[in-house]
Amino acid sequence: MLRLASLPGVLVAGQGREYAGAKPGLLVALALLLCLLVMASLALGSASIPLEQIAATLLGGEADSAAWTNIVLKFRLPKTVTAMLAGMALGVSGLLMQTYFRNPLAEPFVLGVSAGASLGVALVVLGAGAAGGLLLGGLNLAGDLLLTAAAGLGAALTMTLVLLVAARIPNGVTLLILGLMFGYLVSALVSLLLYFALPERIQAYINWTFGSFSSVTSAQLPILALIVGAGLLLAVAQAKPLNALLLNEDYARSLGVPMRQTRLGIVLATALLVSAVTAFCGPIAFIGIAVPHMCRGLLGSSDHRLLLPGTILAGACVALAAGIIAELPGSNIVLPLNVVTALLGAPVVMLVVLRRARGLS
Amino acid sequence: MKALETRALAIGYRRRRRSIVLARGLDLQLRRGSLVGILGANGVGKSTLLRTLARMQAPLAGQVLLDGEDTAHMLPLDVARRLCIVLTAAPQDSLLTGYALVALGRYPHSDWLGRLSKSDHAQVVWALQAVGAADLAERRVSELSDGQRQKLMIARALTQDCPLILLDEPTAFLDYPRRLETLRLLRRLTRAADRAILVCTHELDLALRYCDELWLMSESGMKIGAPAAILRDGSLNEAFGIDGFGFAGDGGSLVPGGAELSQSLESQEGGSL
């Protein structure tokens, strides 16, 4: 190796220097917080059930009251797991989009996948004829299933479209603009459907757009878990190329990142995560944009080997917290989930943008 | 030994079905152990040439060979182990530290998680010191000046540890002593580790002084030669095409008047710079 005459300062090589200023220890704190929130989510609700009864039920036993067992196993457990999966999925897909587009305001929905899901739901709820109306009469179980299927189909079709476009267009900004425009196009179509729809159908559509962690049944849960798991694995596998993308696409390519493959990996992971969550929980806003910013701030790093586990943990935490707050423990009122996520998420995004603006001036 | 070779290379852009050719029929050769400067007026295609050589952009025709192997058939990672590049764009990520930025150069040599070994770390530290940026290791890249960032980007390329280094105006934001140091460092790197370095620059005087060979790009074609030869045959004036100005002596500074005038100035003052 080349020796140089003058060495300004003495620099010592070491593992620690790579993460200078970063706080990876906070991952442990996030994991602990997640455990607490999982317990809270299981313990809190409109019915008050003693903690030891909940624990007994979860360990395979029976609670003193059959109603309690029912509530814990059929409602609180699926709701808690759904919230965790949805939070993880939205947090990670938000991170992927922000890094890939190198835009702090990118979010999971910029690809237009959830817009596709909304269109699917709108077509079923607002456009369908008598059959749809019959099924949706009281928003019964079949109606719920139909909504999930419509949202899933809409998301899957959009996802295919996005992947086809992403495979052909090597420019991230173009993809971003196309995704946004597709979103506008779809919301115009949805507005058109709303304009001509019957009032009670409109209410059913609006209810879907509020988002909810409670409509996933124990039977549907494995499907959600499988898709989210696959999406998360695919995302984690991109950690190294994502770090190279912090420079820019040209540099990433020069470092040996196979860009086409990486772009498709990122888009596929995001599309899987977003379409699964939107199909089962509705279009949940703000978690996807706010959680990556929270993690960067907390962990003090933009290294994806920290940020990916960070957004998985923090996403689950935020979604659980939002789910708990939405149910207003101790009352019988349930707030729309999107109201709570926006109330929690919007201030975070505002803070980040303000801090960024101050940092630049 | 040739590190880089091109055969009948045509560079430019494809727009719809039309292609905009910036240069064609390029048969270039870059030997190991040599520092070559690319000179030329703005927009003549210097950066496009670098990007085409680095396989960031497809050639319109012809081949680019690395160690005799056509890059069109190479995997991205294979190219990244043989060739690194410093571009004019610098990253803006607000949390990236100098050390982490330079460590990204180890990308093609590390495992799937990008974990660094002890020797990887040693390479990062060496590169930081080589460009005089050891004090920037723990600073956030977003807080640095353009010049400091440029030093880190050069260090990042050195960390990639390739036999061929391409640089696009690496000294644009540096102060004069640092420009001199950078070119001296590049020259030393070609000698010490038998690297081939191709640098695109507007620093005529430094290029004339430190490069082994110059590739002078103009709309009429590519002129290749030793700095002294390029300077004497008046092709600099032809390439940059400025009326009323000429390049003086062997220093490469611009003076009013044509080539004849610069010759006479040289005889009067014993050259300028």
Residue of A1, A17, A261 to mutate, testing the B interface (most B Cβ within 10 Å of its Cβ): A17
What is the per-residue pLDDT across A292-318, written as a single tens digit (0 to 9) for each?
988 988 888 889 999 999 999 999 999
Nearest to residue A158, comparing CAs of A279, A292, A337, A263? A279
Residues of B in contact with A20 (CB under 8 A): 97, 99-100, 137-138
Copy the structure tokens of residue B61.
């025709």
Name the average pLDDT for chain B. 85
Q: What is the mean pLDDT of chain A?
A: 83
pLDDT at A16: 52
Report pLDDT for A328: 82
Q: Which of A194, A224, A195, A221 is nearest to A209 (CA)?
A: A194
Give the three-class secondary structure for B24.
strand
Q: Do A9 and B94 touch (CB under 8 A)?
A: no
CATH number for the domain spanning A112: value is 1.10.3470.10
Residue A56 lies in a domain: no
Q: Is residue A71 part of a domain?
A: no
Tell whether A301 lies on the interface with B, counting CB pairs under 8 A. yes
Taking residues A179-203, what's their average pLDDT?
86
- For the stretch B62-95, pLDDT in tens is 999 998 899 989 999 999 999 999 998 877 777 8
**What percent of chain A has pLDDT above 70?**
87
Give the pLDDT confidence of A6-54 residue by residue, as tens digits.
333 345 555 456 666 678 889 999 999 999 999 999 888 777 788 888 8
- Contact A246/B103, CB-based, under 8 Å? no
Q: What is the pLDDT of residues A137-177, one digit of tens each?
A: 444 555 667 777 888 888 888 888 887 887 787 777 888 88
Residue B211, CA distances (Å) to B194, B258, B267 in order: 15, 25, 24
For residue A228, name the pLDDT band (cuts at 50, 70, 90): very high
- Supply the pTM of this predicted model: 0.86
**Which has more confidence, B162 or A176?**
B162
Does A16 reach chain B within 8 Å, measured CB to CB? no
For the stretch A74-80, contacts whose Cβ atoms lie closer than 8 Å and that sit 24 or more positions apart, written own/partner, are: A74/A218, A75/A45, A75/A214, A76/A41, A76/A42, A76/A45, A77/A42, A77/A218, A78/A214, A78/A216, A78/A217, A78/A218, A78/A221, A79/A41, A79/A213, A79/A214, A79/A216, A79/A323, A80/A38, A80/A41, A80/A42, A80/A320, A80/A323
Q: What pLDDT sits at residue B269?
A: 46
Q: Does A240 touch chain B (CB under 8 A)?
A: yes
Q: Which residue has the higher pLDDT, B248 or B109?
A: B109
Kind of pairing between the strands at B221-225 and B35-40: unpaired
Contact: B137, A12; criterion CB under 8 Å: no
State residue B247's pLDDT score. Answer: 64
Residue A182: the pLDDT is 87
Interface list for A 304-323 with B (CB within 8 A): 305
Give the per-residue pLDDT at B251.
56
Residue A26 belongs to some domain of the structure: no
pLDDT digit string, tens, across residues B220-259: 888 899 988 888 877 777 777 666 566 665 555 666 554 4
Q: Which of A52-56, B142-146, B157-161 has the lowest mean pLDDT?
A: A52-56
**Mean pLDDT, residues A204-212:** 87
Of B97, B100, B101, the C-alpha closest to B138 is B97
User: Residue A245: closest CA among chain B residues belongs to which residue?
Assistant: B91
Which chain B residue is nearest to residue A304, measuring alpha carbons?
A: B113
pLDDT band per the 50, 70, 90 thresholds, residue A65: confident
Given a cut of 60, is residue B188 above it in pLDDT?
Answer: yes
> How far is CA B272 from each of CA B199, B249, B258, rounded to the nearest angstrom?
24, 6, 15
**Mean pLDDT across B143-155:** 89
Q: What is the DSSP letter of B95?
A: S
Classify residue A21: in a domain, yes or no: no
Residue-wise pLDDT for B47-63, tens only, equals: 999 999 999 888 999 99
Question: What Å distances lie between residue A12 and A6, A271, B99, B137, CA to CA?
Answer: 16, 43, 11, 11
Partner residue opposite A246 with nearest CB, options B93, B124, B128: B93
A182 located within any domain: yes
Say what the ipTM of the complex is.
0.84
* Band (B203; pLDDT cuts 50, 70, 90): confident
Q: Which pLDDT belongs to residue B270?
A: 45
Chain B partners within 8 Å of A8 (Cβ):
129, 132, 134-135
> Per-residue pLDDT averaged across A276-295, rounded?
90
Domain presence at residue A147: yes
Q: Does any CB of chain B come closer than 8 Å to the CB of residue A357?
A: no
Most confident stretch, A39-48, A160-169, A200-209, B34-43: B34-43
pLDDT at A130 over 50: no
The answer to whether position A60 is within a domain reads no
The answer to whether residue A68 is domain-embedded is no
Higher pLDDT, A276 or A126: A276
- Sequence-distant (6+) residues with CB within 8 A of B42 are none
User: How high is the pLDDT of residue B127?
Assistant: 93
The Cα-based distances of B101 to A132, A245, A302, B91, B96 in angstroms read: 56, 11, 11, 9, 6
How many A×B Cβ pairs under 8 Å? 127
Region of poorest pLDDT, from A83-87, A225-229, A268-272:
A268-272
A83-105 pLDDT per residue, tens: 999 999 999 999 999 999 888 88
Domains and CATH numbers, chain B: 2-235 (3.40.50.300), 242-273 (no CATH)
Q: Select from A305, A14, A11, A19 the least CA-distant residue to B121.
A: A14
Residue A344 confidence (pLDDT) above 70: yes
Contacts of B116 in chain A (CB under 8 A): 15, 18
Domain span at A92: 82-360
- When divided into structural domains, chain A yields a total of 1
> Cα B16 vs. chain centroid, distance in angstroms?
30
With bands split at pLDDT 50, 70 and 90, how would you rate the model's confidence at B7?
very high
The proportion of chain B whose per-residue pLDDT surpasses 90, expressed as a percent, equals: 42
Higher pLDDT, A338 or A12: A338
| More confident call, A77 vs A163 | A77
Q: Which of A30-34, A76-80, A356-360 shows the lowest mean pLDDT across its residues?
A: A356-360
Across residues B18-42, what is the average pLDDT? 90
CA atoms within 13 A on the CB side of A342: 10
Token digits of residue A146: 């139909």
State whether A258 and B76 contact (CB < 8 Å). Answer: yes
Contact A8 B134 (CB under 8 A): yes
pLDDT digits (tens, 9 = 90+) for A233-242: 999 999 999 9
- How far is it, in rounded angstroms, from Cα A219 to Cα A215? 11
pLDDT of residue A5: 35
